[in-house]
Amino acid sequence: MVDVMFGANCFICNSRHTSPKVTNEELVRYGKGELVQNVWPDMGIEDREIIVGSRTGFYMCSTCWEEEE
């Protein structure tokens, strides 16, 4: 089993963020279209956003998100 980490850059401040390690099995489930919150229900929202952002190319860090509100 291979563990994978995702990374995404905030499109506003360009800071780099990485997710916790995930398993290859989880990655396959997500790649097949399972919702990120179902694949990683115990992972924090910010960490799941990094995973989504690394896949979509659109990520805003929590600091910038709070400043935009």
Q: Are 40 and 63 in contact (CB under 8 A)?
A: no
What are phi and psi for residue 47, nearest 5 degrees? -70, -40
Residue 48: closest CA among 60, 58, 40, 57: 40
Residue 36: closest CA among 67, 59, 66, 16: 59
d(CA 41, CA 58): 21
Per-residue confidence of the chain (69 residues) as pLDDT tens digits?
Answer: 678 899 999 999 999 999 999 999 999 999 999 999 999 999 999 999 999 999 999 999 999 999 987
What is the amino acid identity at position 61? Answer: C
